[in-house]
Amino acid sequence: MKSISIATLIIFMISLILVLILNLTSKKTFMDREKSSPFECGFDPKSVARLPFSLHFFLIAIIFMIFDVEITLLLPMIPSLQSSNIMEYSLIVSLFMLILLLGLYHEWNQGALNWTS
């Protein structure tokens, strides 16, 4: 038990030292106008390069990713049907689908799926 705590302390100290070295060496010492501006073939850009990002698009993408991951959790349930009890299987799958549908209803009710608002 003592050797595990010593090893943990050594790993923590090495990590802390590495983080400190990284922070000391990675800081920029000065800000230059040329380095902070976007590069467009050596000329000044014609328009603003940093357009505002649509937060609603980001929320739609996050909702899509959540439901996409949930679908990947549903796929392994199909082969497990052969080795499980049909009542337990149907209860688990229906509960899982109910949670997904409640989440979809909540997002729809909150207006997160309306693109025009």
CB neighbourhood size of 111 (10 A): 9
In angstroms, the CA 54 to CA 58 distance is 7
Mean pLDDT for back-to-back runs of 10 residues, the chain (117 residues):
90 94 74 63 65 78 85 83 85 89 88 73
Residue 96 sits at the vertex; the CA angle it makes with 90 and 98, to the nearest 5 degrees, is: 100
Which amino acid belongs to residue 58? Answer: F
